[in-house]
Amino acid sequence: MSAAAETFEFQSDVQQVLRLVIHSLYSNKTIFLRELISNASDACDKLRFEALKQPDLTGDQQELRIDLSWDKNARTLTVSDTGIGMTRAELIENLGTIARSGTRAYLDALEAGQKADAQLIGQFGVGFYSAFIVADRVAVTSRRAGSDEAWTWTSAGDGRYTLEPAEQATRGTTIVLHLKDGEDEFLDGWTLRSQVRTYSDHIGFPIRMPVEKDGAPTDEFEVVNQASALWTRPKNELSDADYQAFYKHVSHDFGDALAWTHNRVEGNQNFTSLLFVPAKAPFDFGGERDVRKGLKLYIKRVFIMDAAEQMLPNYLRFVRGVIDSDDLPLNVSRELLQNSRGVEKLKAALTRRVLDLLERIARDEPEKYLEFWKAFGATLKEGLAEDPANKDRLAKLLRVASTHANERDTLISLDDYIARMKPGQSAIWYLTADGWNAARNSPQLEALRGRGIEVLLLHERIDEWMIGYLDSYADKKLKHVAKGEFSADELGDAGSETATREAASKDAQPVVDKLKAALGDTVKDVRVSRRLTQSPSCLVLEEYDMALHMQRLLKAAGHEVPAAKPILEINPSHPLLAKFDGETDDARRGDLAFLLFEQAQLAEGAQLDDPAGFVRRMNALLLGG
Ligand SMILES: Nc1ncnc2c1ncn2[C@@H]1O[C@H](COP(=O)(O)OP(=O)(O)OP(=O)(O)O)[C@@H](O)[C@H]1O
């Protein structure tokens, strides 16, 4: 270390990431080479892009390439590139901190759960720090394109790094790994070559290695990869392994992709797209941050920008990949992309490709589709609201629980439902509820269950909102079991059943009137239920009211919600209603009326307005008062 070297501390998270990377990825240690080559390739892409606006950035050194060399005596491995390079400030910013939000919580969860396996830490994106799996000292010398200063960043991965001025004749970055004892396999040309061919063949820039003579590297370099953009190569020349390796490069995912679609389109628009569906959601997926990354826009093979936001609808934000357009101008800006009709068309075409792919998986590989659904189903559901043009296709891709299996994880499609519909049944029935148990045990389901009619159980937060955008599917209306009145037709009832019910309803009129009087304006109405067969009462809403649990959720989140009062439906054949009817004491009758209302609230998952009052009323009833 020279006198001019300054010492810096790593940001605290870095140390933890390093520890996890080194320990959990040791068995996959060759990953470091992929990561360093991947970073070098990104740096070349960035330079090519910046040089579009500033051609003199490339100077005399036009060639973009990555060199890999080794020195057995010094026990070093060197990866260098002629990419964009880093300034002193960028070295500090990029190699001493971790920019992804949520990192700390994720790391703590990993360590607490003792689950720091390769898959998990890999998902997090290991990047540059993976160099420390095999090296006990790493020196990064870099010179930013357009600058004549170079700096060397050095660290032993022990919490500190140093920075000092350096000499480097040309732009780019050189990373020297001082290998740990026992890592000699990376000082072998044959091993390195085979690693590069297996994992980095798809890199679009030449990766060069020294030609060997008598087992030793010479000064002459040769290109060891294909060095052509993978998506420009014919499909039949590419293996699954090629696609998976490329996926890891574009997505920074450590695991494999679930599926991909690779297409060349010629005609009005000319473009190539290669789109991947990941197998697992990244750890920070879901929020708005970072999620719009992942689709790289190239124009005539030149990387332009990450343009997921302009090129894919928000509900497909899990898709990763590349689009390479022949038509867009090389100087395209984000603003231009936002307002271009050509881009709208591209977006529609890409959306179609992804939906085609998902449909194909759903049809041919249902197990795999469920895996996809587990990771990204909730995101895809947003599409019903966001993309009316593809509503039918998205509805077909929907998977939900239902009363048929009555298991939370046994999911069915709307087509499965339709295939099981009863003769005469006209609607697709569903229930939305706040949680699985509230859904499957809801009293609202009794009559339909009794008739063997299946009901979709929508118990996730997004469901109430999502289903609001889907009023019919395949010419069948979707109906909420807790909203509106059931008609005999919808239930598939015969005329005689309807007549019996009407008679019972008439008989129960005095009970209904007494309940109305007792409950006053707590409820909108009281009526005899067609829904209930076992429970004494339940709450229902008008056809277009917002579900009660949704009203509660919005209120809790501080929104103004127009209060939609529920209707109390009763089952006159239940003994509790007979007891209510026979009660002569006014106070006790009032208590019973409120208990009927409150237990319906509880069954529906609501919190009571007056829990202490409920307890008092219930105790009075239990004691036979
Ligand atoms: N060879 C290089 N040339 C120029 N910049 C580089 C180079 N290697 C790394 N960087 C910079 O350092 C940053 C951090 O790299 P690192 O590999 O840790 O993370 P990443 O590539 O952003 O994402 P991931 O963690 O998913 O790999 C990069 O985003 C880039 O800006």
Q: Is the CB of 128 under 6 A from ligand 1?
A: yes
What's the pLDDT score for residue 548?
78
Q: Whose CA is nearest to atom 23 of ligand 1?
A: 127
Q: Is the CB of 86 under 6 A from ligand 1?
A: yes
557 located within any domain: yes
Known binding residue 124? Answer is yes
385 located within any domain: no
* Backbone region of residue 435 per phi and psi (left: phi > 0; alpha: psi in -120 to 50; beta: other values): left
Known binding residue 283? Answer is no
Q: What is the DSSP string of 263-313?
A: EEE-SSS-EEEEEEEESS--TT-SSSSSTT--EEEEETTEEEEE-HHHHS-
Known binding residue 185? Answer is no
1 located within any domain: no
Q: Which of 447, 465, 490 is the last residue of a domain?
A: 490
The H helix count followed by the E strand count for the chain is 24, 23
What's the pLDDT score for residue 494?
65
Q: CB of 34 within 8 A of CB of 248? A: yes
Q: CB of 176 within 8 A of CB of 78? A: yes
What's the pLDDT score for residue 263?
96
Provide the 10 A C-beta neighbour count for residue 408: 13
Known binding residue 10? Answer is no
Task: Report helix, strand or coil for 569.
Answer: strand
Quick one: which H or E segment has residue 135? strand 135-143
Q: How distant, in Å, are the alpha carbons of 254, 321, 358 from that of 246?
A: 11, 9, 20
Residues 242 and 136 in one domain: no
Q: Is the CB of 98 under 6 A from ligand 1?
A: no
Dihedral sign for Cα atoms in the order 105, 107, 113, 117: positive
Q: Which of 334, 369, 404 is the last residue of a domain?
A: 369
Cα 35 to ligand 1 centre (Å): 9
What's the pLDDT score for residue 501?
75
Token readout for 18 is 């390093």
Residues 83 and 97 in one domain: yes
Complex ipTM, two decimals? Answer: 0.96
Q: Whose CA is nearest to atom 1 of ligand 1?
A: 40
What's the pLDDT score for residue 199?
86
Q: Which residues, at least 6 apart from 181, have a Cβ–Cβ distance to it below 8 Å?
A: none
Residues 339 and 236 in one domain: yes
What's the pLDDT score for residue 483?
87
Residues 29 and 122 in one domain: yes
Token readout for 373 is 């659904």
The residue written with tokens 């910046």 in the block is 50
Q: How distant, in Å, are the alpha carbons of 385, 418, 603 from that of 483?
A: 21, 21, 16
374 located within any domain: no
Q: Which of 203, 226, 249 is the last residue of a domain?
A: 226
158 located within any domain: yes
Q: Whose CA is nearest to atom 7 of ligand 1?
A: 39
Q: What's the CA gap between 399 and 393, in Å, rounded?
A: 13
Q: Is the CB of 94 under 6 A from ligand 1?
A: yes
Find the DSSP H helices in 173-231: 189-199
Q: Is the CB of 189 under 6 A from ligand 1?
A: no
Cα 99 to ligand 1 centre (Å): 11
CA of 100, closest atom in ligand 1: 25
What's the pLDDT score for residue 27?
79
Residues of the chain with pLDDT under 70: 1-3, 98-106, 109-126, 283-284, 286-292, 488-497, 625
Q: Is the CB of 253 under 6 A from ligand 1?
A: no
Cα 39 to ligand 1 centre (Å): 5
382 located within any domain: no
Q: Is the CB of 173 under 6 A from ligand 1?
A: yes
Cα 191 to ligand 1 centre (Å): 25
Q: What's the CA gap between 552 and 531, in Å, rounded?
A: 23
Q: Whose CA is nearest to atom 31 of ligand 1?
A: 94
456 located within any domain: yes
Terminal Cα-to-Cα distance of the chain (whole angstroms): 89
Residues 349 and 238 in one domain: yes
Q: What's the CA gap between 462 and 120, in Å, rounded?
A: 27
Residues 144 and 33 in one domain: yes
What's the pLDDT score for residue 28?
81
What's the pLDDT score for residue 338?
82
For 468, list phi and psi in degrees, rounded to 5: -60, -20
Q: CB of 36 within 8 A of CB of 175? A: yes
β-pair partners for 55: none
Which domain, by its residues, includes 18? 6-226
Q: Whose CA is nearest to atom 22 of ligand 1?
A: 127
* pLDDT per position as a tens digit, 57-114: 888 888 999 999 999 999 999 999 999 999 999 999 889 876 565 666 667 766 666 5
Q: Residue 582: is it exposed, middle or buried by C-beta count within 10 angstroms (0-12/13-18/19+)?
A: exposed
Tell me the CATH number at 315.
3.30.230.80
What's the pLDDT score for residue 459?
94
Among 82, 94, 175, name the best residue to mutate to test ligand 1's pocket (greatest count of ligand atoms within 8 A of Cβ): 94
Token readout for 380 is 């895809």
Q: Residue 622: is it exposed, middle or buried by C-beta count within 10 angstroms (0-12/13-18/19+)?
A: exposed
Q: How many domains does the chain have?
A: 4
Q: Is the CB of 447 under 6 A from ligand 1?
A: no
